[in-house]
Structure 1
């Protein structure tokens, strides 16, 4: 099944580099979006004030009609300096949540501003997004569980999708499946084992991380992955997600700290706390929900670190 890609180019919009501003709002072929510019602290080699773009995509109507299950493709961002445009920045995105937030860090705020005299930025972006149906999708996450996959000896069925797996290998990765395949449960002898209470796309991404051809986490998948890793007792998934958040994420500092605190990601928690150098970095952001809902223990560790710095 072929779908027509959604192609869109935004207007060249200027924004103060220190303000939060809606840059664009649009809709095409059933996909709607709102784009916001903001600046936040980012956990780079040190805490750095960076420019962010946030897309809020919505395709609930298409999803409810059953015509589209998700989108994949590229977002290309360009910002303009005083005399020339910078090289385009390309971000690959893929999402099946009908209300999906996509956050991308563009760069340090000092690099984004138009000139020293005018602390504004001029940003444009292009969308190149192709709709898909899960039944016909053939992304790497789907290819990991085809009938042709070597050394498979079992089938899991999720939302009527058949996933070919190796029971022994999966049992090593998951205490949940180890119990299922080695204890006296009926699933042990079933040719096809149904897995309920989970979406195929989310579950496939979970198992694909530890498949023979790994498909690594993305910012859009990490929260689902952490929740499913807890349900299916897969600690290796938590390690993969934490590594992604430490090395490849676009999330801002306070969102990272919140995720680390919520899911007991000790390495990430430690890196976040150690990166703080002034009380002002906290006081200016005390209103943020991510900080407000931190555990008492993490807030105490932050205070202890800053008072000893």
Structure 2
């Protein structure tokens, strides 16, 4: 899944010999403190201190992108700065030469979060605890029939002696990518991996297709938690589509005013909600009248 860019655009600030911290911004789980000082040689020392603990808790391994620094009237040469943030690098610094005692500067920033890639080959390697092999996209996943059957009616039927697949040494699984299928299994087998905003929608789709209710429950738990940065409109759509009642209730409770409810009724998302969920939104609206 493609990760959306996190974008900042600062206000314009005057930088002179007395400035330090210029602005603090926060967006989509990333906070940034922008500072600028002017040296004796009239060069500007710029710094951006980032805090992305919330994204790291979701499984983000690093963040990359660019910062573009400009000045009013182009008194300072426009500068592009490469950004790569990791656990051990939370600050970006840049010195820009100039010849004036004062500049009015601003910046734009575009950052891409990169999620950690699980080692599926190690996760589903052959071992004496596994007794079956699933083949997806030509790749083999060594699994335990009993464990998968416990979590899914689909696998229970697949491994049944009533089906020819149950008698096969290697069972092919078609019309699904290796990464998507391994993502599904990794949520409960062998050591559960928790969903994040980048994987939760695909996990819901896979959980429904392969009848893994625990995957849907795990996705709902993530969306209800404070770690998710998905907006309320998208959450309600997912809650309605995949029957996540707790999440749906939370989303409806976030409609706190008549204006919120009217905005909802005009949204494209509302038009695609089920009649039952539309009724609940309407009942929420009635509470404010």
* 1:282 matched to 2:267: no
Q: Which residue of 2 aligns with 1:258?
A: 237
Residue range with higher mean Cα deviation, 257-266 or 286-295? 286-295
Q: For residue 308 of structure 1, report the CA deviation from its aligned partner.
A: 2.3
Q: For residue 305 of structure 1, report the CA deviation from its aligned partner.
A: 2.2
Q: Which residue of 2 aligns with 1:13?
A: 9
Q: Which residue of 1 aligns with 2:87?
A: none
Q: Which residue of 2 aligns with 1:200?
A: 178
SS of the residue corresponding to residue 257 of structure 2 reads coil
Q: 1: distance between equivalents of 2:196 and 2:112?
A: 19
Tell whether the 8 Å contact from 1:158 to 1:196 is kept in structure 2 after alignment.
yes
Q: 2: distance between equivalents of 1:191 and 1:265?
A: 37
Task: Give the number of the structure whose alpha-carbon radius of gyration is greater.
Answer: 2
Structure 2 residue corresponding to 1:124, chosen from 96, 104, 109: 109
Change in CA separation of 1:214 and 1:223 when aligned onto 2, cut-off 3 Å: same
Residues 240-298 of structure 1, C-alpha deviation per residue, up to 9 Å, x if partnerless?
11111111321001110111111111010111112222111132354432233222221
Residues 150-194 of structure 1, C-alpha deviation per residue, up to 9 Å, x if partnerless?
511111000011001000000001111111212321111211100
Tell whether the 8 Å contact from 1:79 to 1:123 is kept in structure 2 after alignment.
no
Q: How does 1:1-309 map to 2 (within 5 A)?
A: 13-14=9-10, 51-52=27-28, 78-80=32-34, 87-89=50-52, 91=55, 92-93=59-60, 124-127=109-112, 139-148=118-127, 151-247=129-225, 248-309=227-288
Q: 2: distance between equivalents of 1:184 and 1:210?
A: 26
Change in CA separation of 1:256 and 1:142 when aligned onto 2, cut-off 3 Å: farther
Residues 53-105 of structure 1, C-alpha deviation per residue, up to 9 Å, x if partnerless?
9xxxxxxxxxxxxxxxxxxxxxx7635489985543263548xxxxxxxxxxx
- What's the RMSD between the two structures over aligned residues? 3.3
Q: Gaps spanning 5+ residues in structure 1: where?
A: 1-9, 17-49, 54-75, 95-120, 131-136
Q: For residue 202 of structure 1, report the CA deviation from its aligned partner.
A: 0.4
Tell whether the 8 Å contact from 2:60 to 2:113 is kept in structure 1 after alignment.
no
Q: How many residues align?
A: 212
Q: For residue 196 of structure 1, report the CA deviation from its aligned partner.
A: 0.2
Tell whether the 8 Å contact from 1:156 to 1:192 is kept in structure 2 after alignment.
yes
Q: For residue 302 of structure 1, report the CA deviation from its aligned partner.
A: 1.6
Q: For residue 14 of structure 1, report the CA deviation from its aligned partner.
A: 2.6
SS of the residue corresponding to residue 10 of structure 2 reads strand
Write out the 4+ residue segments of structure 1 that deviate beyond 6 Å after TM superposition. 81-84
Change in CA separation of 1:291 and 1:93 when aligned onto 2, cut-off 3 Å: farther
Residues 111-150 of structure 1, C-alpha deviation per residue, up to 9 Å, x if partnerless?
xxxxxxxxxx9663555869xxxxxx972444321124x5
Using CA pairs below 8 Å that are at least 6 residues apart, which structure has the higher relative contact order? 1
Q: 2: distance between equivalents of 1:217 and 1:11?
A: 24
